[in-house]
Amino acid sequence: MHPRRTWRAALIAVVVTVVAGTAAAPAAAATPQPVYAPSGGIADPGVVRHNDSFVVFATGTRAPAYRGDTASGPWSVLGTTLGSVPDWAENGAVWAPDAVRTVTGWVLYYSAPARGKNGQRCIGAATSDAVGGPYAPVGTAPLVCPGGAHGADDVVAGRPVAAAGVIDPSPFEDADGKRFVLYKTQQTPSSIRMLRLDDTGTRWVGNASGELVRNDGIIENPVLRQRGSTFVLFASRYGYDNCSYATVYLTSTDRWDFHGRTEHSLLTTSGTGICGPGGADLVPALVDDEQRLFLHGWVCAGTTPCRQRADGSLPADARRALYAAVFRWDGATPRVGAFL
């Protein structure tokens, strides 16, 4: 072969190889950006879909709420939704509210510090004709309390932490239309418990609550979904105040028993680039058969995911922001798609 032709052929081969290699190389995944990051932060999102929009309830004074035209926004402030502080509560500092529509209208579940319980929290229910409130507390007693003199007290022998407060209420409706509320017992070890409710979603019926799962560390923010004969329990794990916070899921054919079931990671900082992806909630999308997964994560310096200090703490300007992702089911296995 002519030497010049040999050189030209080799050069062409190198160029083709470089171009082909460049085309085949996977693109670096972009760090997800929040869909909403108000200056005051937004934590523990409880999300509902209503009239072709999304409404997010968040931790804060008397359950602040926000409305999104789509999961990506634009978002607007609806204001506080709990119209008044119930008689049994010391103040309006509400944690992790969530809502659901029942035969009685909209029902808001929330946890607040109870009078005479040294800061321990109980869970209350409130109702409204409008998704954005104002919600009026139901009755004079909480829906669930960790024991004592409150009506539907959750007095359970051998609970992980005696007299621990109850937080993170989450409504669940099974395939037969039966209603429940899940929640977390505070302190460690912690547990996820569930209580059967009536059709209005405002009163418990049947037996006392049942323990779904317990953990020597932190497990909280439960969300339960049914897929055929399988129940899928989503939860947050580890400390909420740093980047270790993560979202996991467990599956079981018994809605009341997830003990010993494998804990699968769904969202982690290393897997998403979000600092502490937790507090997740799942709602139908506005199009097709997709769903949307909402969660919070820590941001610093605007909307940049925070980085922990050497001692594990977060910078002073850290606040939580709202993220959203495409979600689909693969049978009973959750699949998180692209972040919005």
Catalytic residue list: 44, 220
Q: Which two tokens stand for residue 137?
A: 């507390």
> Integer distance in angstroms from the first to the last C-alpha of the chain?
56
The CA distances from residue 117 to 15, 112, 186, 302, in Å, are 74, 11, 13, 38
User: Count of H helices and E strands in the chain?
Assistant: 2, 22
**How many Å apart are CA 246 and CA 269, to the nearest integer?**
7
Instruction: Give the residue carrying structure tokens 């929330």.
Output: 110
Instruction: Give the residue carrying structure tokens 């989450």.
Output: 170
CA-wise closest residue to 108 among 75, 64, 146, 157 = 64
**How many Å apart are CA 52 and CA 190, to the nearest integer?**
37
Please give the torsion angle defined by the CA atoms of residues 94, 100, 105 and 106, in that order, rounded to the nearest 10 degrees: 30
- What lies within 8 Å, CB to CB, of 245 at 6+ separation is 236, 237, 238, 239, 269, 276, 277, 278
